Each structure stands twice: as structure tokens, then as C-alpha cells.
């Protein structure tokens, strides 16, 4: 019975959490960072994490290290949770107090440009908002009510005549020009002196006041106080955070601590105690009912809105995909007309559709697949929060009557496999051959997407099923990686057996260790990427080399053999008719082999792969003979590779999946 009870208990708890979420005051935002640590990225969001980062106990809103060019940088950092400025029924604007410590270290003399505390409708950083713009607005959005941003600026450079001096605080509303600015020189504060400047911003719903003190003494001196109706300029929910910029005058813009206390203007008017007394028992009863409900209806159809908060949960982020009604999607796809079918995967069928005169791809998840609503939510939230030019964009979703649907952007050229495999034998000669340059760009695009999934987004995401049919091609043949998140769901199917069934993936793309460790890792993704590279260059399926009596990884064995015989170029797709640069081609093939190294510790990471592709890094060494697969795999020795990752002075056994 145990295996049956566990998921039900989990579902009930999940429901309880959702209901709890529904009842807790949403607008209330309070936090206290007395310093910053890397793990705080779970609460803080760096708009561009190559620019902004947590380092040395502080948020560096613009960077100071790693040989980055400091010139013309601009960044924004926000708390992930939005602050509710006003409630629908209650009216009035929420009050808040926030205290933070700034530390600005000039890199040029004088430094530039400054940092600001911001309340913004939109997380996005306006393009080209470096220099005088402080990441607040840019030349287009400056002065426009569409900017929807209020900032308290700490300006360290007099960048235009209206700027008072190079050491002032100002209040900016939708503009880089301050409504009011005050020089800090008179208060004995020098922003650009590499010392801690403590700032308190108080908003009581009517007036905004700014207090500043150097060296953290006392409560600070009132430097600025102005009447301000925030709800006149900002939407109901805002992001709070910091923005900063440099120009050719540069400085390190740091925030070393940050406390925020916001009022609750939720629509609840009940006194707090009453609220607790009513909701806690109600919550318990609801949990009981929910638990009972799930016991009863384990395998039966679930009513549509059993999870009242799912939509809210998904909608939480400002860039979240949209929810569609089943009706709309039926209409868009001609009631899932087989004529509109684009393809069929293990997971469901994809239809072409028209929504608001735009072509879309609608994936209808098979009803008989065993995945549940939670996995569906995981998919939607994961994909919805990932944004990269080389990832297929999720536009929306629908969950109705046990129908799970995902709406993606439409990829006019379909999937890559149609182009690279030699279909002549299959009598399909329609697809044009992709030239070398196009193939190179496709590989680079996939590498960028994978690097983003592994290293670039908030939480590491493993793709788990990289293969040619999951690479979609846009109208210009640029590659977009699709179907991420799905493999994880497919994986759930074999759960009751502790066999290789648990492993998601496609034979031919699976790293040799997959069968032993029974899970996906960063390294197994990289292996599959390596196989993909070889396929794209050779125009062959990964496992169909009849000439060798190889079992699984045909293409890898075949190529390694050619590599040993120094005839690797023989592998290149004959349809390229020799039109390619040989050096680049060899580099690509050897890189593919490096990714398919039997020892996962020897595979390059995606960062290195990208650097090799751009020529910034040399090819990793690849032995002439394919090393045999040994398990457990030995880590590389220190001598061989000084860059090997060390975790707590121990060699990391495997890259950990940090979940998502």
C-alpha cells in the first residue's frame, strides 16, 4: 500500500500548500538580507547575470571582475516576489520602509555613473540604458508614462547640465531627470568614497522620504522628502530592486545589505487574530477534505478547478505564458483536424493552429500518458520562465477536462532531422540540403541553448532528450531547442521498476554511464549534444552504421575509428560536396568526439564547447583510441587539468542536478 499512499499524501500536501497560498496575504513583502550569499539568488533575480552577480557578500549591480569590460555596463537586480502597492477593494497605497547599504568604488577618476533604488512595473532592462541612464530608462522610454518606474537615484557623475553635481540623490519618475535632487556634500556623505553609505527610504502612502548616513551612524539625515502618489505611476504590483550603470567613467556599484518592510494592502480587512482563527481550522478541514477527495478519486477524472491557485501560480511572473481555453484551441486547430497535424512524439501530437492570425504549434498531450497535473505545471512554469533565442518559446497553455495542451511558437521549417538525414534512400528528396555554414550556426545555437539551460538560467535545467527531432528550425534555419521538461515527465512512467526504464532518452544519444547511474546529468546531456554534432556534420542517424558491428553508439565508434586512422573528414556528409572549411570541420568533429568521451569527467562543459566553437579556447585533447568505458569513472588528475572543479576541496563526483 505504501507506494499508493505516498503520491496521494504528496498531492494533498501540495493542495494544502496551494490553498495556504491562496489565503495568505499576497501583498505583504518583508525580507532582511544583512549580507548576500550565492544562495540568495533563489530570492533575488539578476536581469543579466553576466553583469549583475553576488560576490564578496554584496550584490554587484554592475560588475568588477573577470576581465569584463566595465565600460557602458548596466544592470538590474530585483526581489523575485512582487510588492503589492494597492489593493482593489481597500484603496490607498501601501506604505513601506527599506534600508540598504551602498558601497561605490570608482574605477576611473571620477567614477560613473550611479545606482538607484527602483520600483518598476517591468523587470526588463531597457536596451542601451547605460551611461547617464542608470538602467532606469533609455532615450526612448525617458519621459514616457509607459516606463512605469520610480527611482531614488544616487548619482555619482554630473552627466548633463541639469545634474546638480557628482554626489547627489534624486527622485525620478519615469524619467532620468529628477523631480527633485539634493547634493549629499552638505550632509558629509561622499557616495564615491568606497565606504558604506546607509540609506533609508520611507514611503507612508503619501510622501516619500530618503535618509542617508555614512559609516552607518544613527538613523540618518533626512535629505529628501516629497509628496508622491505611487499608484498614479505604477501598477498594482511592482518589482523592487536596484539598477546601476557605468559609462566610460566606471565604478563598482554594490549593495551590501537590504531590509524591506512592506505594508499589506491585501483585500483582507479582518483583524489579524480573527484571520488566523478562521483560516487555520478552515485550512485543516480543507486539507482533510482534499485528502479524502484524492483517496476516492485516485484514478478518476479530476474536476477542472481542483487547484484554484494553479493559474495564479503560473501567472506569477510577468512574462508567464498565457492560459487559453480549450474552446479557443479547438477553433485554432480546426478541432484538432488531422490535416493540421505537424507531428507525433512519444508524448503527444502536435497540431498547427492559428491564434489571433498568428501561426502556432499546439501540443496535445496524450490522455493515456501517466503524467499528472503537477508535472504539467512543472513544465509550464519551467518553460515559461526560460527565455533564450535558441529555445522554442512557450506562448500559452490549457488544462481543461483532462486535456493538457501547450501552445508554442510555430517553427516554419520543422525539425532538424528532416534536413540532415539522407532521406534519398527513403525516397524523400524534397528537403534541401543544409550547407556547412547553416549547420555550423545550428550547432552553435543548440550549444548556446544548452549552456543557458545548464549554466545560464535561474535553476539548472537538464534537457534529457537532445536529438535532431527535438531541434526546431526557424524560417532562417536558426536552431531552437524544443521539448525540454517533457523528458522528465516521460521518466516518471517506469517509476515502479528500478530498472533502466526510468531513464529518459533516446537510444543512440545515451551516454554509456546512463545505464549505471540511472539518471540524467549535465554530462549525459553533453554526450547527447556530442552525438548530435556528429549527426549534423555526417548527415547520419546516430545508430545506423551497418558497416560496423556496433551496438548502441554506432556513430561515435565509427567516427573515433576514422579519427584514429586520421581520415575523419571521410565522415562528412557527401551532400556538402566538399564545400566547407576543412580546419573548422575537423574542429567540429573532434569537439563532437570530446563530448562523447566515455568518461563523463573528460567531457567539456557547455561553456568550453562554446569557446571552442568561437575559437576562443583550444580543442580539448581527445585520445586517438576511444578509451574503453570504465566504471566508476576516474576523475581527471590534477596534473592533466588544473581547472577541474573542486567542491569543498574534494573532487566533485558528478555535476549535481540542482533541481528546478
Ligand X SMILES: *[C@@H]1O[C@H](CO)[C@@H](O)[C@H](O)[C@H]1NC(C)=O
Site string for ligand X, 119-138 (x = CB under 6 A): -------xxx---------x
Site string for ligand X, 19-58 (x = CB under 6 A): -------------x-x-------------x-xx-------
Q: Which one of the listed residues 155, 451, 465, 483 is annotated catalytic?
A: 465
Compute the distance between CA of residue 133 and CA of residue 267 in angstroms, rounded to an integer: 37
For residue 117, the cross-strand partners are 152, 242
Cis before 110 (ω within 30): yes
Footprint of ligand X on 136-195 (CB under 6 A): 138-143, 175-177
Residues in CB range of 344: below 8 A, 6 or more apart:
350
98/413 with CB nearer ligand X: 98
Per-residue cell: 553: 553508439
For residue 162, the cross-strand partners are none
Rama region for 220: left / alpha / beta (φ>0; ψ in -120 to 50; rest): left
305-319 burial: b if 16+ Cβ within 10 Å, else e = eebebbeebbebeee
Query: Does the active-site annotation cover 465?
Result: yes
Site string for ligand X, 432-471 (x = CB under 6 A): ----------------------------------------
**Shortest distance in whole angstroms from residue 210 CB to ligand X:** 12
Residues in CB range of 461: below 8 A, 6 or more apart:
382, 386, 453, 454, 484, 485, 660
For every residue of 96-163, DSSP letters joined together read: EEEEEEEEEEESSSS---EEEEEEES--PPPTT--GGGTTT--TTTTT-GGG-EEEEEEE-S--STTS
**Shortest distance in whole angstroms from residue 67 CB to ligand X:** 9
**Shortest distance in whole angstroms from residue 69 CB to ligand X:** 4
**Shortest distance in whole angstroms from residue 63 CB to ligand X:** 9
237/418 with CB nearer ligand X: 237
Binds ligand X (CB under 6 A): choice among 155, 166, 251, 263? 263
Total residues at interface with ligand X (CB under 6 A): 36
For the chain, the straight-line distance linking the first and the last C-alpha, in angstroms and rounded, comes to 29
Residues in CB range of 81: below 8 A, 6 or more apart:
29, 43
**Shortest distance in whole angstroms from residue 74 CB to ligand X:** 8
The owner of cell 487559453 is: 324
Contact yes or no for 540/532 (Cβ under 8 A): no
**Shortest distance in whole angstroms from residue 57 CB to ligand X:** 13
Mode of pairing for the β-strands spanning 358-365 and 403-409 = antiparallel
**Shortest distance in whole angstroms from residue 440 CB to ligand X:** 21
Compute the distance between CA of residue 321 and CA of residue 34 in angstroms, rounded to an integer: 35
Footprint of ligand X on 232-261 (CB under 6 A): 232, 248, 259, 261
**Shortest distance in whole angstroms from residue 420 CB to ligand X:** 29
Give the H or E element holding residue 281.
helix 272-296
**Shortest distance in whole angstroms from residue 223 CB to ligand X:** 12
Q: Determine, following the binding rule CB under 6 A, whether residue 607 of this chain makes contact with ligand X.
A: no
258/421 with CB nearer ligand X: 258
Footprint of ligand X on 392-411 (CB under 6 A): none
Residues in CB range of 55: below 8 A, 6 or more apart:
64, 65
Per-residue cell: 574: 557527401
69/547 with CB nearer ligand X: 69
96/324 with CB nearer ligand X: 96
Binds ligand X (CB under 6 A): choice among 38, 39, 69, 300? 69
Contact yes or no for 295/370 (Cβ under 8 A): no
134/571 with CB nearer ligand X: 134
Nearest CA to 153 out of 81, 106, 102 is that of: 102
Binds ligand X (CB under 6 A): choice among 24, 42, 229, 574? 229
Q: Is 363 annotated as contributing to ligand binding?
A: yes
Greatest C-alpha distance within the chain: 83
Per-residue cell: 318: 510577468
Footprint of ligand X on 187-216 (CB under 6 A): 202, 204, 206-207
Give CB contacts under 8 A, 24+ apart, made by 11-16: 11/294, 11/372, 11/374, 12/287, 12/290, 12/291, 12/294, 14/374, 15/287, 15/290, 15/294, 15/306, 15/307, 16/283, 16/286, 16/287, 16/290
Contact yes or no for 126/144 (Cβ under 8 A): no
Which residues lie near ligand X (CB under 6 A)? 32, 34, 48, 50-51, 69, 71, 73, 95-97, 126-128, 138-143, 175-177, 202, 204, 206-207, 225, 227, 229, 231-232, 248, 259, 261, 263
Q: Which residues are annotated as a binding site?
A: 363
Would you name the residues annotated as active-site residues?
A: 465
Q: Which residues are annotated as a binding site for ATP?
A: 363
Amino acid at each position: 500500500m505504501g507506494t499508493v499512499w505516498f503520491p496521494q499524501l504528496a498531492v494533498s500536501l501540495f493542495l494544502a500548500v496551494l490553498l495556504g497560498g491562496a489565503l495568505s496575504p499576497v501583498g505583504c513583502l518583508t525580507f532582511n538580507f544583512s549580507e548576500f550569499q550565492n544562495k540568495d539568488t533563489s530570492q533575488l533575480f539578476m536581469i543579466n547575470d553576466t553583469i549583475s552577480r553576488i560576490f564578496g557578500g554584496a550584490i554587484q549591480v554592475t560588475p568588477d571582475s573577470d576581465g569584463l569590460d566595465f565600460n557602458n555596463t548596466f544592470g538590474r537586480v530585483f526581489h523575485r516576489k512582487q510588492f503589492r502597492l494597492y489593493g482593489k477593494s481597500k484603496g490607498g497605497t501601501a506604505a513601506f520602509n527599506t534600508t540598504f547599504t551602498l558601497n561605490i568604488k570608482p574605477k576611473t577618476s571620477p567614477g560613473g555613473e550611479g545606482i538607484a533604488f527602483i520600483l518598476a512595473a517591468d523587470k526588463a532592462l531597457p536596451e542601451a540604458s547605460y551611461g547617464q541612464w542608470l538602467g532606469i530608462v533609455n532615450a526612448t522610454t525617458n519621459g514616457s508614462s509607459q516606463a512605469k518606474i520610480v527611482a531614488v537615484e544616487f548619482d555619482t557623475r554630473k552627466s548633463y547640465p541639469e545634474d546638480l553635481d557628482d554626489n547627489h540623490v534624486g527622485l525620478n519618475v519615469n524619467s532620468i531627470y529628477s523631480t527633485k535632487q539634493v547634493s549629499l556634500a552638505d550632509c558629509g556623505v561622499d557616495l564615491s568614497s568606497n565606504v558604506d553609505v546607509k540609506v533609508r527610504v520611507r514611503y507612508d502612502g503619501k510622501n516619500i522620504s530618503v535618509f542617508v548616513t555614512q559609516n552607518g551612524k544613527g538613523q540618518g539625515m533626512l535629505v529628501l522628502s516629497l509628496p508622491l502618489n505611487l499608484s498614479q505611476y505604477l501598477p498594482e504590483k511592482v518589482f523592487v530592486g536596484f539598477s546601476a550603470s557605468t559609462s566610460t567613467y566606471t565604478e563598482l556599484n554594490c549593495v551590501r545589505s537590504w531590509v524591506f518592510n512592506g505594508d499589506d494592502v491585501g483585500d483582507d480587512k479582518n483583524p489579524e487574530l480573527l484571520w488566523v482563527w478562521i483560516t487555520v481550522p478552515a485550512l485543516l478541514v480543507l486539507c482533510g477534505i482534499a485528502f479524502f477527495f484524492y483517496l476516492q478519486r485516485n484514478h478518476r477524472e479530476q474536476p477542472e478547478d481542483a487547484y484554484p491557485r494553479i493559474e495564479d501560480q503560473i501567472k506569477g511572473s510577468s512574462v508567464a505564458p498565457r492560459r487559453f481555453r480549450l474552446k479557443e484551441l479547438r477553433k485554432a486547430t480546426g478541432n484538432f483536424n488531422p490535416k493540421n497535424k505537424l507531428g507525433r512524439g512519444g508524448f503527444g501530437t502536435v497540431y498547427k493552429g492559428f491564434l489571433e492570425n498568428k501561426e502556432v504549434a499546439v501540443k496535445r498531450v496524450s490522455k493515456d500518458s501517466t503524467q499528472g497535473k503537477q508535472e504539467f505545471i512543472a513544465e509550464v512554469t519551467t518553460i515559461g520562465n526560460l527565455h533564450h533565442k535558441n529555445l522554442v518559446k512557450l506562448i500559452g497553455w490549457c488544462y481543461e477536462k483532462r486535456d493538457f495542451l501547450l501552445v508554442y511558437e510555430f517553427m516554419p521549417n520543422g525539425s532538424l532531422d528532416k534536413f540532415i538525414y539522407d532521406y534519398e534512400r527513403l525516397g524523400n528528396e524534397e528537403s534541401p540540403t543544409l550547407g556547412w555554414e547553416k549547420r555550423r550556426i545550428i550547432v552553435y545555437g543548440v550549444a548556446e541553448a544548452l549552456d543557458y539551460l545548464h549554466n545560464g538560467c535561474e535553476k539548472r535545467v537538464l534537457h534529457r532528450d537532445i536529438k535532431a527531432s527535438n531541434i526546431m528550425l526557424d524560417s532562417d534555419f536558426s536552431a531552437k531547442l524544443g521539448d525540454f521538461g517533457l523528458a522528465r515527465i516521460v521518466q516518471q512512467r517506469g517509476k515502479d521498476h528500478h530498472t533502466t526504464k526510468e531513464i529518459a532518452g533516446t537510444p543512440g544519444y545515451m551516454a554509456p554511464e546512463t545505464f549505471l547511474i540511472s539518471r540524467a546529468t549535465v554530462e549525459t546531456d553533453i554526450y547527447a549534444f556530442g552525438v548530435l554534432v556528429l549527426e549534423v556534420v555526417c548527415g547520419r542517424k546516430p545508430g545506423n552504421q551497418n558497416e560496423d558491428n556496433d551496438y548502441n553508439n554506432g556513430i561515435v565508434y565509427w567516427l573515433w575509428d576514422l579519427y584514429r586512422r586520421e581520415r575523419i573528414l571521410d565522415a562528412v556528409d557527401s551532400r556538402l560536396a566538399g564545400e566547407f572549411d576543412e580546419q573548422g570541420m575537423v574542429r567540429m568533429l573532434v569537439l563532437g568526439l570530446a563530448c562523447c568521451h566515455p568518461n563523463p569527467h573528460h567531457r567539456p562543459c557547455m561553456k568550453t564547447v562554446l569557446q571552442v566553437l568561437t575559437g576562443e579556447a583550444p580543442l580539448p585533447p581527445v585520445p586517438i583510441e576511444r578509451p574503453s568505458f570504465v566504471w566508476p569513472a576516474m576523475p581527471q588528475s590534477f596534473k592533466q587539468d588544473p581547472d577541474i572543479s573542486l567542491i569543498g576541496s574534494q573532487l566533485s563526483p558528478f555535476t549535481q542536478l540542482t533541481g528546478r
